[in-house]
Structures are given as structure tokens and as C-alpha cells.
Structure 1
Amino acid sequence: MSRHAPVRRGGDAGGASVWAATAAAVLLLVGTVGVDLAAAARARHVASAAADLSALAAAGQSVDGTAAACARASDLAVRNGAELLTCRLDGWDALVETQVAWSGLLPLRGPARARARAGPAPVDAGTPPASGPVDGSVPAVEPS
């Protein structure tokens, strides 16, 4: 019986497996960071939308007092997936701050917060009215 000597391969046997495992780990890390960034952006948008809507609701109820205005703001914040942190009236303006907790895969996280202010538009008596047509059309130019 004759024995054949094993075929010797170069020193890089199994190198493709190492590269494949490294590529998979990098893709997993990039995916995890991407998911966390998307979750943080979503939480920030939810907090911002809830703050805007809560401030508008509170400003609409400001004639009924701070308690009624802030109760309405709190209800709207909760219905939009946020928590109302602060609410106060400054004259007819409502100032609110909301918070949205989010969970990420990485340990670096915290709640998303947003502030909003709503109230009547300020009246500036010194600005002249805009001239030109109201419907947005361009006036015809007369030939000279």
C-alpha cells in the first residue's frame, strides 16, 4: 500500500472564513448603530410633534386658565406618545416641554426632549401692508 502525502496548501488556508466573519461582524455593528440612530431620530420627531400640538392645544385653552390649558396639553402629549414635562402660560402664550423615552441596542441613550411655544401672532403696527394683487398674479406691464 502506498500512502499519498497530504496536499499542502499555502499558509492562508481558512483565510476566507476569517474575512467573512469579520465582514459579518462589521455589518452587524453598522446595522446596530443604524437602528439606534433611526430610533433616536424617530423619538426626537415624536417629541417635537407632541410639543407643538400640546402647545397649540394649551394656547387654545389659555382663556380657561393654566390648569385647564395644561391638562389639555398633557392629554395631547400622552395621545401622541410623549410625556409632558413642563407647561406654563406666559400671558396668552403656552410654553411646553415634552419627553419621549426610547430604547436602543447600544448603551448610549437617553430621552428625546422638545420645547414649543404657541400663542397669538404679534401685531406690528409699523409695517406697511404688502402692495400688489392679493391673488398672487403678476400685474401687466404697460409698454412705454
Structure 2
Amino acid sequence: MAAPPALAADAGGATVFACVALAGLLGLTLVIGQVGAVVVARHRAQAAADLGALAAASVLTEGADVGCAEAGEVARRMAVRVRRCAVEQWDVVVVVAADTSFGVFGVRTVSAAARAGPVEESG
């Protein structure tokens, strides 16, 4: 039995729509996954900056160079690089950077900064 002429023109339209919708959802899933990877890299960089600043501040009595070397060691172990390590009196500021792949959009650099030093009392 043949399909009526009105239905024959629409044959396969739902299949094409479903394929296009599925391709769009797959593309959106990949983009969300890549954004998630960049967010994770940013958090890893912030953790490295925090730990590097604390490590540097903990050995600051031995000198600024020793403190910055300690921050560099922590950064190396966390797979980031130190962009800047500055010591001013008893405060240490560490800025780190990490490269992360953003899929087809290339490689992006994420950075983070942290400060460690004595607590300032107010009041």
C-alpha cells in the first residue's frame, strides 16, 4: 500500500531533524567540556599560587631568594610556572601561569596570584 501524496513529501524529515539536533547537542557537550577543563586549570593555578606563596613565606627568614626558590619548586611540582615572585618586607606575592588546551580554539594561558604574610591587626 503506497503512502498518500501529502505524507510522501515529509518522509524522513524527522530523521534529519533528529540527526541535526544530535549533532548540535554533541557540539555543545564538547564546548562545555572544554570550558570545564579551563576552569579546572584555573583552579589548579590558583592552588599553586596559594601554596607557593605560603611556602615562600614559611622560609622567608632565610632570605627572599630562598623563599622564591621554594615557591618555584611548588609551582614546578604542580605543573605551572612562576611569572613573578616579589618579596616586600614580610609579604610574598606569587603570580603563576599555566597553559591549557581549549580544544579547537587552541592553547590558552590561565594565571593566578596569591599573597602570604603576617596578618594585619585592625582596631
TM-score normalised per structure 1: 0.77
Structure 2 gaps, min length 5: none
Q: Does 1:104 align with 2:102?
A: yes
1:49 to 36, 47, 50: 47
Letter in 2 for 1:29: G
Computing the radius of gyration from Cα coordinates, the structure with the larger value is: 1
As a proportion of its length, which structure holds more helix? 2
Checking the alignment, whether the CA contact within 8 Å between 1:32 and 1:106 is kept in structure 2 is no
Superposed CA deviations along residues 78-118 of structure 1, whole A, max 9, x for unmatched, are 11221111101011100110111111223165111000000
Q: Which residue of 1 aligns with 2:113?
A: 115
Count of matched residue positions in the alignment of Structure 1 and Structure 2: 121
CA distance in 2, matches of 1:11, 1:56: 70
What secondary structure is seen at the aligned counterpart in 1 of 2:103? coil
Per the TM alignment, residue 17 of structure 1 is displaced from its structure 2 partner at its CA by 2.1
Runs (4+) off by over 4 Å? 5-9
Checking the alignment, whether the CA contact within 8 Å between 1:33 and 1:106 is kept in structure 2 is no
TM-score normalised per structure 2: 0.89
| Identity of matched residues, % | 36
Structure 1 gaps, min length 5: 128-144
CA distance in 2, matches of 1:55, 1:42: 20
How big is the alpha-carbon RMSD for the aligned residues of Structure 1 and Structure 2?
1.8
